[in-house]
A and B are shown apart, each in its own frame.
Chain A
Amino acid sequence: MQIVAENLSHVYSPKSKFAVSALKNVSLTIDEGEFFGIIGHTGSGKSTFIQHLNGLIKADKGSKKLTVGEFDLLDKKCDFKKLRSKVGMVFQYPEYQLFADTVAEDVAFGLKNFERLSEEETAARVREAIETVGLSYEEVKEKSPFDLSGGQKRRVAIAGVIVTKPEILVLDEPVAGLDPKGKKEFFALLHALHGGFVKTVVIVSHDMDNVAEHCTKAAVFENGEVWKVAPPKELFKEAETLAEMGLDVPVTGYLAARLAANGVKIDTDFTERDFARKVLETYRRAEEGR
């Protein structure tokens, strides 16, 4: 399913003195298959945008287009319930939203909201979701979600979202608060999911190193508008502009900019491995020429 937004606008608390124009004429297309990054300051409109994608926030009148696959979100008759089973939304610190007595009940909750299945079918789907996120069903199903470790809790929260087999998975700061190993494992999980029923992954992240390392494309939000959409390879060439906007660049972007200022051009996609390889190539060429 392709996501298309054209001239999408949203004002919070309109007509009050606290009115905030969070999105201003945003046009953005996210193709099926992308591992898409959304970057920007707090308050740039990122979260407002992603909450439009499954109808948690409704677009203002005057927005031109908002479609997700065949769903027309500007149409009053849009089947939002069905849409929400197709667009999974994982908020920041999703483990704070766990509530049920057991892991199995918590994961089943989402499914029961969307589909009427027999006990057995539900159990089978819950088992599948829990195993997909890399936990042992037998081990955790009867446990209280609150007795699990931080990383495991987050996995359970994801299981509760993917149990409806969404085609699009949207995650807000998915690795915030995880330790280094947890981060690595979590990205591995996202890539594994991306190859299955999840066709498109959209992540909101402040961590540019993660965006450079994992995303196929990224959009930069600034003051409620989309400043640029490009693959990391293009985007992080503009290290200076991003810095002026007060955004970070990945370490590789910083280093490439330092070298460029010194007259050495490194043509990299800004992943760590590729950057190191290109630097070494340049270094060896220089050594040979000496």
Chain B
Amino acid sequence: MSFIEAKEVYYRYPQAEKDALCGVDLTVEKGEYVAVIGHNGSGKSTLARLLNGLLQPTKGEIFVDGISAADKKTLFELRKRVGVVFQNPDNQLVASIVEDDVAFGPENIGVPRKEIGERIDFALSAVGMQEYRKSMASRLSGGQKQRVAIAGVLAIRPEVLILDESTAMLDPRGRREVTDVVKKLNRENGMTVLAVTHYMDEVCEADRVLVLSDGKIVMSGTPAEIFSREEELEKYELDVPVPARIAAMLRAGGMEIGRIYTKEELGDELCRLLPKI
């Protein structure tokens, strides 16, 4: 069994006329970094909420580390393993001092007092916020708040980190802070990451990309594979990253440029193709 396994998952919100998710099959292996993209209303956030039991599927099964996410009796165990960071940096912190906020999770699951201190140390240093331990949460920048929110999740020692558009409300600096932390957690600590995002450049960091449209997974592959299917993406109301779009224009104009989606690679290609005159 894979680490995360969803089989034929359906979800319909109360009073909604149609399903938000209709028949999603998904497997994620331990240590994978999966990005989820899709237009507004495609079901991305619903999927994220189902994975840590904020919602229960109307039909179908979801297992994380062998624990059923469809069963309310095992929610407690599930949430120890799956942490979610949401979009708005201003409404996820529960305490006024950073360390109290990070302690909130472990206190709730009954971690002994002595160990809580260690967990705060670990979590804040993992996100590079140890010097703000005694700071007022309200005086932090958006990126810092989101990093504290991630630390709050890490203090539970989860196996999976879910980011539900956690960078959407941040400025470029804040976005970089958060994406760097997430990348490090994935590469160095082996954290399984599922990131829901609208930013195509963040998708490039992932091992695998899932495209959702109208409640179904319609595309799945590496970033390179997904971004080479520009027309299909357009059909699902998505865009390729800017460098991929420029590369496509140059390719159409006769330049021999491969399937590229990062600006660094495109820069290398252009320097190769346009030698110094």
Contacts and interface: CB of A to CB of B under 8 A. Distances in A.
B172 A206 contact: yes
Contact of B238 (A151, A180, A282): A180
B276 interface: yes
B270 A179 contact: no
25 contacts: A42-B141, A42-B171, A42-B173, A149-B41, A178-B40, A179-B39, A181-B238, A182-B40, A206-B171, A246-B173, A251-B243, A251-B246, A254-B263, A254-B267, A255-B246, A255-B267, A262-B276, A272-B246, A279-B255, A279-B274, A280-B254, A280-B255, A283-B253, A283-B254, A286-B275
Interface of A: 41-43, 93, 149-151, 176-182, 184, 206, 209, 246-248, 250-252, 254-255, 258-259, 262-264, 272-273, 275-277, 279-280, 282-284, 286, 289
B245 A272 contact: yes
Contacts of B254: 280, 283-284
A253 B69 CA distance: 47
A228 B167 CA distance: 28
A246 B253 CA distance: 34
A41 B41 contact: no
B174 A263 contact: no
Given A248-B172, A252-B242, A264-B274, 14 more contacts: A93-B169, A176-B169, A177-B198, A179-B39, A179-B237, A180-B39, A255-B263, A255-B266, A262-B271, A262-B276, A264-B275, A272-B242, A279-B250, A286-B275
B274 A286 contact: yes
B252 to A, nearest CB: 9
Contacts of A277: 253
A273 B246 CA distance: 8
Nearest to A44: B171
B267 A286 contact: no
A246 B175 CA distance: 13
Given A272-B249, A283-B274, A42 B40 contact: no
B266 A180 contact: no
Interface residues of B, number: 38
B20 to A, nearest CB: 13
Given A259-B271, A280-B250, A209 B242 contact: yes
A263 B270 contact: no
A257 to B, nearest CB: 9
A42 B158 CA distance: 32
A276 B251 CA distance: 10
Given A181-B237, A251-B242, A255-B267, A276 B253 contact: yes
Interface string B159-197: 000000100110111100000000000000000000000
B95 interface: no
Nearest to B236: A181
Contacts of A262: 271, 274, 276
B162 to A, nearest CB: 18
Contacts of A149: 40-41
A178 B39 CA distance: 9
Contacts of B249: 272-273, 276
Contacts of A279: 250, 255, 270, 274
B273 interface: yes
Contacts of B250: 276, 279-280, 283
B100 to A, nearest CB: 22
Nearest to B41: A149
Given A180-B239, A251-B243, A276-B250, A150 B40 contact: yes
Contact of B246 (A177, A206, A275, A284): A275
Nearest to B242: A251
Contact of B274 (A151, A246, A248, A259): A259
Contacts of A251: 242-243, 246, 263, 266
A210 B247 CA distance: 18
B277 interface: yes
Contacts of B267: 254-255, 258-259
Contacts of B171: 41-42, 206
Nearest to B244: A251
B270 A258 contact: yes
A274 B88 CA distance: 37
B91 to A, nearest CB: 11
A150 B44 CA distance: 14
B274 A179 contact: no
B142 interface: yes
B276 to A, nearest CB: 4
A176 B87 CA distance: 12
Which has the most chain A C-beta neighbours within 10 Å: B141, B245, B277? B277
B246 A276 contact: yes
Contact of B39 (A176, A181, A248, A252): A181
Contact of A41 (B173, B246, B277): B173
Contacts of B172: 206, 247-248
A22 B198 CA distance: 31
